[in-house]
Amino acid sequence: MSLLQEKKIDYTIIEYIKHPLKKSEILSLSKKLGKAPGEFVRRGEADFKNNLCETDLHNDEKIAEAMSRFPKLIERPILVKDNRGVVGRPLENILNLLSEKE
């Protein structure tokens, strides 16, 4: 049983591998996370190694475009609640976001 099910929290799973996010959605997610896209990209993925380099991490537009084209680059899991979001590793990030008052 997942943490969200255990706490009886309604949620929606976005299958971004099947339905990749648009560049604009990634940039919006970036704002909710309070992180530049380069801060929640998976650098170990083959798509990163084959299409990008470390210097690209400072170009939000380029990284967001790459994340849209290669969705496996997006760090996961990500939880969004209202206008805030967190990367779910470590798990405490999710617990902290869920415990915040509206």
- 102: pLDDT confidence band, cut at 50, 70 and 90? low
CATH code linked to domain 3-99: 3.40.30.10
Q: In a 10 Å sphere around its CB, with 0-12 CB exposed, 13-18 middle and 19+ buried, how is residue 38 labelled?
A: buried
DSSP-derived secondary structure for 73-88: GB-S-EEEETTEEEE-
Per the model's pLDDT, the better-predicted residue between 28 and 1 turns out to be 28
Per-residue pLDDT tens for 15-65? 889 999 999 999 999 999 999 999 999 999 999 999 999 999 999 999 999
> Nearest 5°: CA angle at 53, between 52 and 56?
85
pTM of the model: 0.87
The Cα–Cα gap between 83 and 43 comes to 26
Helix, strand or coil, per DSSP, at residue 17: coil
Q: How far is CA 19 from the centre of its chain?
A: 14
Q: What are phi and psi of 79, to 5 degrees?
A: -115, 130
pLDDT of residue 1: 46
57-93 confidence digits (pLDDT tens):
999 999 999 999 999 999 999 999 889 999 988 888 9
Q: How far apart are CA 70 and CA 20, in angstroms?
A: 8
